[in-house]
A = this chain, B = another copy of it.
Amino acid sequence: MKKMLLFAIITVMCSFQAKKTTKIVFFGDSITEYGVRPDGYITLFQQKLKDNGKAGDYEAAGAGIGGNKIYDLYLRYEDDVLTKTPDVVVIWVGVNDVWHKRLAGTGTDYDKFGRFYTALIKKFQAKGIKVTICTPAAVGEKTDYTNELDGDLNKYSQAIRDLAAQNNCGLIDLRKIFHEYGLKNNPENKDKGILTGDGVHLNAEGNKLVADIMYQSLIK
C-alpha cells in the first residue's frame, strides 16, 4: 500500500517535471517596453495564456527599451535576455534604425542592420533558443505609401524576411499585417489612430491585434 502511494507521488512529480514551462522573452524597443503595461500586448498575451489554461505551460516576459536599434539589442542581449534563460526569443526592432536617420542623424546603415541582426540571431541559436523575428509595423499608418519613411521601412522589412528564411527563424510580418489591416479599416487614409496612437506606438486595438498574432504564432 505504501509502495503504491510512493509510486503515485513519484509519477505525479515526474509528470510535473516533464511539463516544463516554455519561457518566451519579447526583445525590442519602446513598443515592447510599453508591452508590459496593464493594457500592453505582452500583458494581453499573458492573459490569453490564462484564459486558455496555458499559464502553466508558458511564461512571457518583456525586455524592451525605448529608442533601441538592432545594435542596442546586441549590446544588452546577455544582461537582459540570456539571464532570463528563455526558450524562445521574439525580436521586434527596426523602427528606430530607420527613423533616427531623420530624427537625429543616428540611424543604422542598411548593411550593418543585417550584420548585427544576423549576429544576434546566431548568439541566441547557439544557446539552443528558438528565435522569431518581426518586421517593423509602422511609422505612420497611411496605406498609400505616402508615410515619409515607408520606402526605407519596406526595405528593412524585406531584409528581415530574408534573414528569417536564411536563419530558420520564425517570422511575424507585422508590417504586412498592419498594412492589410489598414486597407480594410482605414478608408480615410489617416496617419494614426487605427492601430497606433501616434503612428508608431500601439493603441488598444493595436495591442489586441499584436497579442492575438503573437499568440497564434507562438502557442501550440
Interface residues of A (CB under 8 A from B): 71-72, 74-75, 100-102, 104-109, 112, 115-116, 119, 140, 144-155, 158
Contacts and interface: CB of A to CB of B under 8 A. Distances in A.
Contact of A148 (B106, B145, B146, B152): B152
A63 B104 CA distance: 29
A112 B107 CA distance: 12
7 A-B pairs with the lowest CB-CB distances in the bound complex, closest first: A150-B151, A101-B105, A146-B154, A145-B145, A146-B155, A71-B71, A106-B109
Contacts of A72: 112
Copies of this chain, whole number:
4
Given A102-B105, A106-B109, A148 B155 contact: yes
Given A148-B151, A149-B152, 13 more contacts: A71-B75, A71-B116, A101-B104, A101-B105, A102-B104, A106-B112, A145-B145, A145-B154, A146-B154, A146-B158, A150-B151, A151-B152, A151-B153
Given A75-B115, A115-B75, A119-B75, A106 B104 contact: no
A93 B98 CA distance: 24
Nearest to A158: B146
A102 B149 CA distance: 12
Nearest to A152: B148
A17 to B, nearest CB: 35
A107 B104 CA distance: 9
